[in-house]
Amino acid sequence: MEIDPFIFRLSIFILSIFIGYYVVWSVTPSLHTPLMSVTNAISSVIIVGAIIAGLAGKSETIFNTSSIFGFLAISLAAINIFGGFLVTQRMLAMYKKKKKSK
């Protein structure tokens, strides 16, 4: 009997939860705010689904309801991607070590 591909995806999912668990516990508490903004940015990889929906229509049906939701989702996710990564970068650039010589 063949295994349903869903089971493989479920395995990836469960194992990723464990990876997430160990990786996030090792994040230093002082970087918890950048952690939130970067997880925000990466969860916007949902833009992949939005692009598929946006490009689904043929040229004459390009603005059907489904594609419009896709287009809107693209913009929302893009705000998050650009905003999330850039603000994380801005924050991380501020974390400096003590200067030894003064």
Partner 1 sequence: MLSANLSAIFYLISGVLFILALRGLSSPETSRQGNFFGILGMAIAVTVTFLSIGNFSTGFVVVLIFLLIGGLIGAFIAYKIPMTAMPELVAGFHSLVGLAAVFVAIAAFLNPEAFNLGSPGNIKLGSLIEMSIGAAVGAITFSGSIIAFLKLQGIMSGSPITFKGQHPLNALILISIIIITYLLCSTQSSNLFWILLAISFLIGFLLIIPIGGADMPVVISMLNSYSGWAAAGIGFTLENTALIITGALVGSSGAILSYIMCKGMNRSFFNVILGGFGATEQSASAKNKEQKPVKSGNADDAAFLMKNASSVIIVPGYGMAVAQAQHALREMVDTLKKNDIKVSYAIHPVAGRMPGHMNVLLAEANVPYDEVFELEEINNDFANADVAFVIGANDVTNPVAKTDPQSPIYGMPVLDVEKCKSVLFVKRSLSPGYAGIDNDLFYKENTLMLFADAKKMTEDITKNL
| Site residues (CB under 8 A) for partner 1, limited to 20-59 | 20-21, 23-57, 59
CA distances from 23 to 17, 77, 101 (A): 10, 24, 35
CA nearest to 45, candidates 78, 71, 16, 75: 78
Q: Which of residues 60-79 bind partner 1 (CB under 8 A)?
A: 62, 64-67, 69-79
- From 1, 3, 7, 17, residue interacting with partner 1 (rule: CB under 8 A): 17
Nearest to 53 by CA among 67, 73, 38, 40: 67
Question: How many angstroms separate the CA atoms of 45 and 74, rounded?
Answer: 10
Nearer to partner 1 (CB atom), residue 28 or residue 101: 28
**CA 27/CA 47 separation, integer angstroms:** 26
Q: Count residues binding partner 1 (CB under 8 A).
A: 83
Asked if 101 touches partner 1 (CB under 8 A), the answer is no
Shortest CB 47 distance to partner 1, Å: 6
Residue 60 beta carbon to partner 1: minimum distance, rounded to whole angstroms:
10
